[in-house]
Structure 1
Amino acid sequence: MANFLKYEQDGPIVTLTMNDPENRNPLTGNSAVDEFIDAINRIEADKSVRVVIVTGSGAAFSAGGNMKDMQKYQNPDLAVMPIRTEYKEGIQRLTLAMYNLEVPTIAAVNGYAIGAGCDLTCMCDIRVASESARFAESFIKVGLIPGDGGAWLLPRVVGMSKAAEMAFTGEMLDAQAALACGLVSRVVPDDQLMGEARKLADRIAANPGPTLRLTKRLLREGQVTRLDSLLELSAAYQALAHATPEHTEAVNAFLEKRKPNFG
């Protein structure tokens, strides 16, 4: 469908809402990937954006893959290589773009986050869940593997043992179980989800935008690089941070005992 993704900006905070509730906000078989990529490019280019909230409309955050669309793969004459290409040029583009987005991201999980929907939450930096939220790394239930990078993402969020349990059983976690294993950082009543996500976004957005982007990049690099390499990168980033007007404003505000104004 057209306009799968609703883009709303309020000052330094952008909210991206997946808006196909009748189909539980699937990420394949529609324009979802292209619209996410367009939104991410827009956010990266807009230096006023400091935080992004990702959520879904209706009863689901995202049901992941579109099962009706997957029926096309049941054709015995269908070649394997085009399917591989479709994944690389489809859902995997979303994985890389969302994970590498420099702006901090919050997944406000309002309902079912299944398969690629669960993995989409793991592409974000922080996950806040409503009491109705449910999570499942459920690919195994339909005879598939996590084709969107979930085997890399999920263990970095919940640890290898819990990720293996989720991937091998495909079983669903309720919000409290997700909280217990660290998949989410907090659970709130359904009607308070977006308010709590916005409060958290406001606390993040109160900080200087350039430094937020540099800090997120360091956190990402820290997951895949050696300590000495990260220290070298940190020194370079710190030099950049010292040169920003936001740093000057922060130092002056501290010395003058006032609240900084980062614009």
Structure 2
Amino acid sequence: MGDLLFSVENGIARITMNRPDSLNAFSKEMILSWMEALETIRDSEEIRVVILTGSGKAFCTGGDIKSLINGGGFLYDDSDEKEDFTSTALARKNVLWKKVQRIPLLMQEIDKPVIASINGFAVGAGLDMALMCDIRIAAQSAKLGEGYVKVGIVPGDGGAYFLPRIVGIDKALEMLWRGDILTAEEAKEIGLVTHVVSDEELTDFVESYAERLANGPQQAIRFMKRAVYQSLTMDLRSSLDMISSAMGIVTELPDFHEGILSMAEKRKPNFK
């Protein structure tokens, strides 16, 4: 088995970070495999929903600190110059850009729902991976936090972009400046996670959630996602123009006609 597991079944893609002995800290193999998986998800019409989780007792603890201390770890570059986290400032910036930062950019290109199933520790860049998802569902025992300040670094993978959009500026700065670890319930109180369920129920709850979305009207769901995110950087007129165009398209699709017919016949719709 590799450092990242990727599978697709019944329209649901599953990405599992698979380094349980290292609390699913990033490795070079994991990052490269992740990029490949995200490109497949983005381009495949067969995939309707994505679930992201970790194996063992952690979701993800971000960068492998031991690897960084020993000479680069997941930021290691294969170039002849051997640019890594211990070399020049420009090399470190470029390696982040070439590898880790590709993930949020690819995630942003995916119109399908992406669900983070937070089964345990989600810290630093590991938490930021969950923030890139649309929905975050946490196990009761999960612990979440931004730990960058404890080692004197900054959130290099997009945490400073995603976090304030989810919890607000003041809470985001507090989390980043203090580096406190939150319980799942504390995270839910500030809007960091969408749902908290018992550890035993997590897998079934997430699967049921994903299946419901996978059985919905796909183009409408994707237009909704894009409209919500695009509207964060649009004025009202532009947003309304975008959504009216989407309305014109979806009302020509079979799912719209099935939805109207199922309501008239008082039955559950059968979207294709």
TM-score, normalised to structure 1, is: 0.93
Give the distance between the partners of 1:83 and 1:153, measured in 2 at CA.
Answer: 22
Show the counterpart of 2:17.
Answer: 18
TM-score, normalised to structure 2, is: 0.90
Alignment of 1:30-41 (within 5 A): 30-41=28-39
Residue 247 of structure 1, CA deviation: 1.6
* AA aligned opposite 1:17: T
Give the distance between the partners of 2:239 and 2:16, measured in 1 at CA.
Answer: 34
Give the distance between the partners of 2:195 and 2:139, measured in 1 at CA.
Answer: 9
Give the distance between the partners of 1:229 and 1:186, measured in 2 at CA.
Answer: 32
Question: Which stretches in structure 1 are left out of the alignment for 5+ residues?
Answer: none
1:124 aligns with 2:123: no
Q: Give the 3 Å change call, closer, same or farther, for CA 76–235 of structure 1 in structure 2.
A: closer
User: 3-state DSSP class of the match of 1:259?
Assistant: coil
* AA aligned opposite 1:19: N
User: 3-state DSSP class of the match of 1:207?
Assistant: coil
Give the distance between the partners of 2:193 and 2:153, measured in 1 at CA.
Answer: 25
Residue 173 (structure 2) aligned to one of 164, 174, 199: 164
The alignment's C-alpha RMSD in Å is 1.8
Give the conservation status (yes or no) of the 8 Å contact 2:24–2:54: yes
Residue 99 (structure 1) aligned to one of 95, 108, 119: 108
Show the counterpart of 1:65.
Answer: 63
* AA aligned opposite 1:20: R
Alignment of 1:110-189 (within 5 A): 110-189=119-198
Give the distance between the partners of 1:8 and 1:224, measured in 2 at CA.
Answer: 34
Residue 229 of structure 1, CA deviation: 1.1
Residue 237 of structure 1, CA deviation: 1.4
Show the counterpart of 1:197.
Answer: 206
Question: Which stretches in structure 2 are left out of the alignment for 5+ residues?
Answer: 73-83
User: 3-state DSSP class of the match of 1:31?
Assistant: helix
* AA aligned opposite 2:34: F
Give the conservation status (yes or no) of the 8 Å contact 1:136–1:173: yes
Residue 223 of structure 1, CA deviation: 1.7
* AA aligned opposite 1:13: I
Show the counterpart of 2:231.
Answer: 222
1:108 aligns with 2:117: yes
* AA aligned opposite 1:90: K
Identity across the alignment (%):
36
Residue 76 of structure 1, CA deviation: 10
Give the distance between the partners of 1:30 and 1:238, measured in 2 at CA.
Answer: 42
Residue 108 of structure 1, CA deviation: 0.6
Give the conservation status (yes or no) of the 8 Å contact 2:68–2:85: no
Give the distance between the partners of 1:260 and 1:107, measured in 2 at CA.
Answer: 27
Give the distance between the partners of 1:35 and 1:76, measured in 2 at CA.
Answer: 20
